[in-house]
């Protein structure tokens, strides 16, 4: 099987699965039907849990005893927290923190 056909089949499978997963919510919870309390609770709790998980994941490779002592990670987290507290915009906060981190590890803490 050549690479083009293999890539096309892969993209088609991924698109099909994505379409099914996106459409599942509309099938499982039709308009006008009440959403189960468990789903509502998960919708309220999961964003905080995911952010906590991401913070732990991002800081797991920080080595405080060797250069750069985890400074890029800590500075990026501080920027993200400050922006989130100030602007209340998760996309802006996470994107800015990520860009600042990448700039620091690629240009400043080399």
Q: What is the pLDDT of residues 54-76, one digit of tens each?
A: 889 988 988 989 999 999 999 99
- Do 106 and 57 sit in the same domain of this protein? yes
What is the domain range of residue 15? 1-33
Q: Are residues 109 and 81 in the same domain?
A: yes
Q: What is the pTM of this model?
A: 0.64
Please give the Cα distance from 91 to 41 (Å, whole number): 22
pLDDT of 1 > 80? The answer is no
In a domain? residue 67: yes
Do 14 and 65 have their domain in common?
no
Please tell me whether residues 16 and 56 are part of one structural domain: no
Pair 58, 102 in one domain: yes
Q: Torsion-angle region of residue 69: left (phi > 0), alpha (psi -120 to 50) or beta?
A: left
On whether residue 39 sits in a domain, the answer given is no
């Amino acid at each position: 099987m050549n690479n083009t056909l293999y890539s096309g089949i892969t993209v088609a499978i991924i698109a099909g699965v994505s379409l099914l997963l996106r459409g599942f919510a509309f099938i499982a919870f039709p308009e006008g039907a009440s959403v189960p309390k468990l789903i509502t609770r998960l919708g309220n709790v999961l964003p905080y849990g995911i952010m906590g998980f991401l913070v732990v994941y991002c800081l797991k490779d920080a080595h405080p005893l060797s250069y750069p002592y985890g400074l890029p990670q800590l500075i990026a987290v501080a920027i993200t927290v400050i922006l989130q507290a100030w602007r209340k915009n998760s996309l802006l906060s996470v994107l800015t923190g990520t860009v600042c981190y990448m700039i620091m590890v690629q240009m400043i803490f080399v």
